[in-house]
A and B are shown apart, each in its own frame.
Chain A
Amino acid sequence: MKLKQISIFLENKEGRLKKAINILSQANINIRALSIADTSEFGILRLIVQDSEKAQKKLEKNKFVVKVNEVIAVEVPDQPGGLDSILEILYDSKINVEYLYAFVEKNEDKAIVVIKTENIDDGINALENKNIRLLSSEDVNLI
């Protein structure tokens, strides 16, 4: 199961992050999860939102460079070793993780982690083989 993520190019310039977030706020788009990768010259803002198509349109209309791609979202037991067990599976299957970040979760005993593996399908297969529940966009929106 894949989840849509939108990535936004941010120039290292005052107010750009604020501007991007503000556009989504104006459009009444709720941000479910986010992470920022920053380098000395630019940043990449990655978001999981309820309506990624609408978010992309709004952002592009405001001259942001936006890319939509797919990531994996998994439920992780909210206890020591939870994430480790997931990574173990990927490690055993020799699957590289490009990046990961966590949801702002409201579920009491589960954490949700977004994972981007080098090859998404390989990552999904490896996790599903070990009976890890992957979340769909519906699941994510219901949280």
Chain B
Amino acid sequence: MIWNQEAECMPLKEKEKLQLNLLKKVVERAYENVPYYKNLFDNLKLKPDDIKSLKDIEKLPFTTKSDLRDAYPFGMFAVPEEEIIEVHTSSGTTGKPTVSGYTIKDLKIWGEVMGRALTMAGAGKKDKIQNCYGYGLFTGGLGVHYGTQTIGATVIPISAGNTQRQIEIMEDFKTSIITCTPSYALYLSEVLEKNDVDIKNLNLKAGVFGAEMWTEEMRKTIEERLNISALNIYGLTEIIGPGVAQECEEKNGLHIFEDHFYPEIIDPNTKETLGEGERGELVLTTLTRDGMPIIRFRTKDITALRKEKCGCGRTIVRMDRITGRTDDMLKIRGVIVFPSQIERALLKIEGLQPQYQIIVTRPGHLDELEVQVEASSNLFSDEVKHVEEVKKMIESRINNEIGLRVNVTLVEPESLPRSEGKAIRVLDKRDFS
């Protein structure tokens, strides 16, 4: 089912025309009403009139999370405060939270895109949606809530936590769709099993899972255990909350609601715009929001865009499942590498301590990737030949995972730096200046 046929299946030309029109307007609104953007544009000698084509968006400066933090709490609002009827914040785990302010119209937009997302996951008027996202400053709970109101489904606003009660309600109310984080869905499935609840007696058919990164393997596990279709939703507080993009039954990427959010992919190092299918950082511009227009927000999420028409009939662009964050992304000889990939390869090797350090250098013109691994008695031998075989074996395991040649160095036990919280896994010694 498609909630808004016109918006979701728009011919390319028409879509681009609409986007350009909306982009011009949002840039003007930001310039006229948000002092932060006015100063920034003035310093760069940019005027809203400079936007003559969609490509001209590349002239505009980026907005980062720290820019939004500096404007805490209400510095990014483009309307008088009395026009704002609701506020949400990000979790604020890495410092002051960022605030998102919504006008009546903004909340309508949010309800609309969430309505489209839920419809895409198979929801309709007859469905009972158990919304296990937290209600509160977090956008998850209310975002889904507004979506259910748009499409006229029944929302069970149970919020997060109290798993026994979740299960009771699920059985008694005949919940057909659940919305929560994928890790909670997994947990829920375990508790259901422990409680000897027969999945067949439940009425579940789909789940809309988001707010954290997850994998295809996790999808398979959730789908098997809960006997549902598990679909991926994407969004972020700074842009609107959940409902920026949603997966359809094809499970082949998430459709971005392009009449409200304009996506770009950039190389996080050079900040250049990348083409279709190239992996890089997702950058989003709000095209329609009044309360808080955001120009070229750097999401730090790594994905790629796919433009070909989807089997579901929608023409709007799809983004791949998020595979990482720029915070820990490395680009080596042009290839994107995440420490987690290397860790995955190492964890598969028996007798190897999962302590490692990645060192990137550029001795000449080419990047070199070294992975230091702690030696252990399982890997060690009195013969050089054997130790070198072990080293080569580790190298080829990593190579299979990341597709790059790598040099593994064995170091002495407990010689790699350890820290209380996040271990320092990457030493990038390349000089980019």
Contact = CB atoms under 8 A, between A and B. Distances in A.
Contacts of B383: 37, 44, 98-99, 116
A11 B382 contact: no
A16 B412 contact: yes
Nearest to A46: B382
Q: Is the interface of B mostly helix, strand, loop or mixed?
A: loop
Nearest to B413: A63
Interface of B: 375-377, 380-385, 387-388, 409-415
B380 A9 contact: yes
Q: Is the interface of A mostly helix, strand, loop or mixed?
A: strand
A67 B380 contact: yes
Interface in A72-119: 98-99, 116
Contacts of B381: 7, 67, 69
Residue of B381, B387, B388, B413 with most chain A CB atoms under a 10 A cut-off: B387
B412 A11 contact: yes
A92 to B, nearest CB: 23
Interface string A4-17: 01010111010010
Residue of A13, A16, A64, A67 with most chain B CB atoms under a 10 A cut-off: A67
B382 A69 contact: yes
Interface residues of A, number: 22
A9 B409 contact: no
Contact of B410 (A42, A64, A98): A42
Nearest to A16: B412
Interface in A25-51: 37, 39, 41-42, 44, 46
Contact of B413 (A7, A42, A65): A65
Residue of B380, B410, B411, B415 with most chain A CB atoms under a 10 A cut-off: B380
Contacts of B414: 63
A66 interface: yes
A5 B415 contact: no
B413 to A, nearest CB: 5
Contact of A66 (B377, B384, B385, B388): B377
A11 B410 CA distance: 7
13 contacts: A9-B410, A10-B412, A16-B412, A37-B383, A41-B410, A44-B383, A63-B415, A65-B375, A67-B377, A67-B380, A67-B382, A69-B381, A116-B383
Contacts of B412: 9-11, 13, 16, 63-65
A13 B411 CA distance: 10
Contact of B382 (A41, A42, A44, A63): A44
Contacts of B382: 5, 7, 44, 46, 67, 69, 116
B8 to A, nearest CB: 57
B377 A42 contact: no
B380 A37 contact: no
Q: Nearest 10 A-B pairs (CB), nearest first?
A: A7-B382, A65-B375, A65-B380, A11-B412, A37-B384, A9-B375, A9-B380, A63-B413, A69-B382, A67-B380
